[in-house]
Structure 1
Amino acid sequence: MAKQPMLKFVTVERDMPVKRDAGIRKEDFREIYAEYAAEKAREQSGRCSQCGVPYCQSHCPLHNNIPDWLRLTAEGRLQEAYEVSQATNTFPEICGRICPQDRLCEGNCVIEQSGHGTVTIGAVEKYITDTAWEEGWVQPISPAQERTESVGIIGAGPGGLAAADVLRRAGVQVTVYDRYDRAGGLLTYGIPGFKLEKDVVMRRNEQLEKGGVTFELNCNVGEDITFAELRDRHDAVIIATGVYKTREIEAPGVGAGGLVRAIDFLTASNRKSFGDPVEEFDSGMLNAEGKRVVVIGGGDTAMDCVRTSVRQGATSVKCLYRRDRANMPGSQREVKNAEEEGVIFEWLSAPKGFAGDPVTGVMVQKMRLGAPDATGRQAPEVIDGADYVEEADLVIMALGFEPENLPTLWDQPELPVTRWGTVKAEFTTGATDLEGVYAVGDIVRGASLVVWAIRDGRDCAEAILAKLDTPDAIAAE
């Protein structure tokens, strides 16, 4: 009788892939976690309890069939594990790297609730698909039959690319329009290489291109092509632009030199990693080398900025956040990684203004947590008389992102938007009130997770396919 490969959580402890030493890893932009070896992946997958109600799956936005691909990995049936993983997730190797598993699948693992330490779901997910690429199991998209209908997708980020993948596999003609010179959106230019090495994204872009997806890059909708022209050109249009407008802060000294936006800072760094000429980086404006850096914000973008600053050679890196550690929105795993690399966190601290031009310091006011606000979180309150100045040569604003004014930019006043500027779209399908126009990802949700954008893109593509297959319903409208 074969030895039971599962239910090993009582005898086998949780064991993450080896993390490179902080003193070494902060010298480069390579990913910080090593790959599992095959035996270790089987061992850790075998810790899954195969519970009757898999909370890991129900708390995953994609509802990935996690218990099944863990079992297949534990049994050494890795190609089947890849096929199960790929069935619900367009980019499992990307989610395995950047999803906040501590808040989603792993954070809801049953055996963690019982004190045994969660299954290392993210690390196994990454291992399965990385192995699939190495073994040649990831095949180019090859539709069984070509269709005449076409869909235009505005934005080559995770939501747009997920929709492109589903549509193209069904034989639909797909064109993706993006303002940047490489596809991938924030996967390419927003997330640093130490979390997501760029060849991982580029090989997916290449797979889509070889599979027949057309990319129109360096294309600004509203300038190089109008939205109306896109609607005329395609049977359906998906808006998947994401949200890139930085939230502003109103305080004395805001216009000083040395205050930069997080998206500009991260994009410049990622472009340098590609070997691109970046004048703002080379001039020092978007380069932390030799500078005292202060990052304002507590989300994952702020964590990306502090850890990038360390690798660029900053003399010191501090992060100001107005709430405490327990209430910050960013991944606790990323906070720990940053602290290991020398970042100092100033909790319960908020900017009051900026000294000097170029900046020489941040005027900081200390906070305490008071009564809960409308969201249920404790609202920060200023502590009188506790202000101080934090010296800085470079201040990076990582306060979150807002949608651009698309109705104005695209000369589409009838495009339905909410009072927050996000596009109004139907839940699950992404359909808007404009015939044949859909929207997915952050431009609908506001700044959110990559995994939600993938979910939205896939759902929207399925809804479009269903509509294309029911021409009578279209004609009746």
Structure 2
Amino acid sequence: MAERMLKFVGTSQAMPDKRPAAERRRDFGEIYAGYAREKAAEQAARCSQCGVPFCQIHCPLNNNIPDWLKLTAEGRLEEAYELSSATNNFPEICGRICPQDRLCEGNCVIEKGFDSVTIGSVEKFITDTAWSQGWVRPIRPRRERRESVAIVGAGPAGLAAAEQLRRKGYQVTIYDRYDRVGGLLIYGIPNFKLEKEIVQRREALLRDSKVTFELECDVGRDVSLAELRQRHDAVLLATGVYKAREIAAPGVGLPGIAAALDYLTASNRIGLGDQVPAFESGALDARGKNVVVLGGGDTAMDCVRTAVRQGARTVKCLYRRDRANMPGSQREVKHAEEEGVEFVWLTAPQSFLGKNEVSHVRSVRIHLGMPDASGRQTPQEIPNSHANIEADLVLTALGFDAEDLPAAMGAPDLAVNGGGTLKIDWRSMMTSLDGVFAAGDIVRGASLVVWAVRDGRDAAERIHGYLTTRAQAALRLAGE
């Protein structure tokens, strides 16, 4: 192993080839090429095989990263895929969209001085190879179970849970209000980060595995939660959170100010070939406009980079903290800067100006004061530091909150937390309703896809335990 691994001293970090910014500004294709087989093996061999793998510890899925890096370095790619997919239902998706610089790669022990192992790119390579070689196959459970499970939400948490439950033989039906499977993977994340066929082939795999989908079915409107509880032996709520946080400022109601997710959904639908009136009318089209995006997370980065590709005249991102305190991926910030986005740090919007539509964002400069209870420095306005920033389209990317799910689903007994997320027993992942479980963003709040996958997998295990216990109790009663 020593001969094959520990190459980080003599071999430099090398990402897959990245398309030039001038080229990638013109389309929505992924910006990175794939590794060649020998290059992936070379980069995987940079792993130090440390005794305490911090990359694995800081991965929400606790992926066996050093082990599948070693297998890749040895050319044993099918085994690497089996190991990678044992803990992650969507390794090729996480390899593309996870903020590795904040998770596994950011905690690589060779990061200081030698640059981290390119874990995400190798992960993507392994599973893309598995798809091309036919190693990814539909689920065929050892035995079929009669119990059925309803999953509300076809996003990453729901899809991960469905796969895990199907492996155990349960009959699984996924209900989703939208017309396509994938949730934010389809409608929220642009193609330059995650091309839609990557998600669609996962949907096809689940369908081939006998998972049933009921699309354009809004639980609460088309079917009640009570009905789902009657139809199925257990229910998993994995709806995600989609309600955009609003900004309270004068002029916020002017035309030309839109929520980030509305904008990204319109762009993704256009890419999928749908007709989108708000885009066709120009309301959600950035072409030729001065675009200002408010926020510093990954959704804001998706907006600014989408606006560039739509042909915006200028694109600015306003964030009230500095670069070091930005919640989004630093790698995404770098990509955006390469593509011509201007970041206006330590700046916050105060109001929106315009007669019939927005024309300017009135902003104020910010000084970071003492840390608050969360440990982050408190933004404080600098007096007499106002400026008007020209804007024809303002996109608010300030985060997401949960909608009123008990009201939407006609289930007033469904307990929620103060922020509207569902209250669960974290040991059982069950809500206040017997047999109704919850996972993903609807429980933890807006978070990463990798955490949604983790929650979906955990929920599947808890549901399995619940149904197994109930079946055993029924057998005992029958025996008496």
**Matching residue within 227, 230, 236 for 2:228:** 230
Could you say what secondary structure the match of 1:205 adopts? helix
Query: What residue in structure 2 maps to residue 437 of structure 1?
Result: 436
Query: Which residue does 1:340 correspond to in 2?
Result: 338
Report Cα offsets for 1:412-471 as digits up to 9, x if no partner: 111010011000112254211210010000000000000000000001101111222222
For residues 416 and 460 of structure 1, the distance between their equivalents in structure 2, rounded to whole angstroms, comes to: 18
Amino acid paired to 1:67: P
Shift of 1:169: 1.3
Counterpart Cα distance in 1 of 2:94 and 2:59: 11
8 Å CA contact 1:429, 1:459 repeated in 2 = no
**Which runs of 5 or more residues in structure 2 are unaligned?**
none
State the alpha-carbon separation in 1 of the partners of residues 281 and 473 from structure 2.
55
- Match of 2:383, SS state, is coil
Please tell me whether residue 371 in structure 1 is matched to residue 359 in structure 2.
no
**Cα drift, residue 252 of structure 1:** 0.5
Distance 2:302 2:469 in 1: 45
Provide the aligned length of Structure 1 versus Structure 2.
Answer: 475
Q: Is the 8 A contact 1:100 1:331 kept in 2?
A: yes
Aligned to 2:116: 118
1:16 matched to which residue of 2? 15
1:470 counterpart SS class: helix
Q: Aligned match of 2:323 in 310, 322, 325?
A: 325
Q: State whether residues 467 and 474 of structure 1, in contact with CA within 8 Å, keep that contact through their aligned partners in structure 2.
A: no
Specify whether residues 3 and 443 from structure 1 end up closer, same or farther in structure 2 by C-alpha distance, changes over 3 A only.
closer
CA shift for structure 1 position 374: 1.6
> Which amino acid is the alignment partner of residue 160 of structure 1?
G
User: Counterpart of 2:216?
Assistant: 218
* Residue 267 (structure 1) aligns with: 265
Q: Secondary structure at the match of 2:363?
A: strand
Per the alignment, residue 172 of structure 1 pairs with: 170
Alignment partners' CA distance in 1, 2:472 and 2:429: 18
- CA–CA distance in structure 2, aligned partners of residues 273 and 92 of structure 1: 24
Superposition deviation, residue 259 in structure 1: 0.4
Contact residue 45 and residue 73 of structure 1 kept, 8 A: yes
User: Structure 1 counterpart of 2:81, which letter?
Assistant: Y
Given that residues 90 and 454 in structure 1 are in contact (C-alpha distance below 8 angstroms), is that contact kept between their aligned partners in structure 2? yes
Q: Deviations over 1:233-282 (max 9, x none)?
A: 11110010000000011110011000001010000000011111111111
What SS does structure 1 have at the residue aligned with 2:266? helix
Q: Distance in 1 between matches of 2:322 and 2:110?
A: 28
Q: TM-score, normalised by structure 1?
A: 0.98
CA distance in 1, matches of 2:295, 2:87: 33
Contact 1:428 1:460 (8 Å CA) reproduced: no
Q: Which residue pairs with 2:43 in the alignment? A: 44
Amino acid in the other structure paired with 1:386: S
Give the deviation of 1:18 after TM superposition. 0.9
What is the CA–CA distance in structure 1 between the aligned matches of 2:459 and 2:425, rounded to whole Å? 10
CA distance in 1, matches of 2:444, 2:305: 27
Q: Partners in 1 of 2:468 and 2:71 — Cα distance?
A: 35
- CA distance 1:145–1:355, change in 2 (3 Å): same
Q: Does residue 128 of structure 1 match 2:97?
A: no
Opposite residue 341 of structure 1, the aligned amino acid is: E
**Distance in 2 (alpha carbons) for counterparts of 1:59 and 1:409:** 36
Shift of 1:304: 0.1
Q: Following TM superposition, by how much is the alpha carbon of 1:472 offset from its aligned partner in structure 2, in angstroms?
A: 5.9
Q: Specify whether residues 40 and 267 from structure 1 end up closer, same or farther in structure 2 by C-alpha distance, changes over 3 A only.
A: same
Across the aligned residues of Structure 1 and Structure 2, the Cα RMSD in angstroms comes to 1.3
1:450 corresponds in structure 2 to 449
Residue type of the alignment partner of 1:267: T
2:142 aligns to what? Answer: 144
Amino acid of the structure 1 residue aligned with 2:177: R
Q: Which residue of 1 aligns with 2:379?
A: 380
How far is the alpha carbon of 1:474 from its aligned partner?
A: 5.7
CA shift, 1:190, in A, is 0.2
Q: The residue matched to 1:29 in structure 2 has which SS?
A: coil
Aligned to 2:301: 303
Q: Which runs of 5+ in 1 are unaligned?
A: none
Structure 2 equivalent of residue 56 of structure 1? 55
1:387 is paired with a residue whose SS is strand
- Give the Cα–Cα distance (whole angstroms) in 1 for the partners of residues 209 and 325 of structure 2: 44
Q: CA deviation at 1:3?
A: 7.8
Q: Secondary structure at the match of 1:34?
A: coil
Find the aligned partners of 1:329 and 1:472 in 2 and give their Cα distance: 45
In structure 2, C-alpha distance between the alignment counterparts of 1:358 and 1:474, rounded to whole Å: 64
Task: Spell out, residue by residue over 1:45-85, the C-alpha distance to the aligned partner (whole angstroms, 9 max, x if none).
Answer: 00001111111111100000001100000000000000000
Shift of 1:39: 0.4
Q: Distance in 2 between matches of 1:191 and 1:472?
A: 41
SS in structure 2 of the partner of residue 294 of structure 1: strand
The answer for the alignment partner of 2:100 in structure 1 is 101
Amino acid at match of 1:254: V
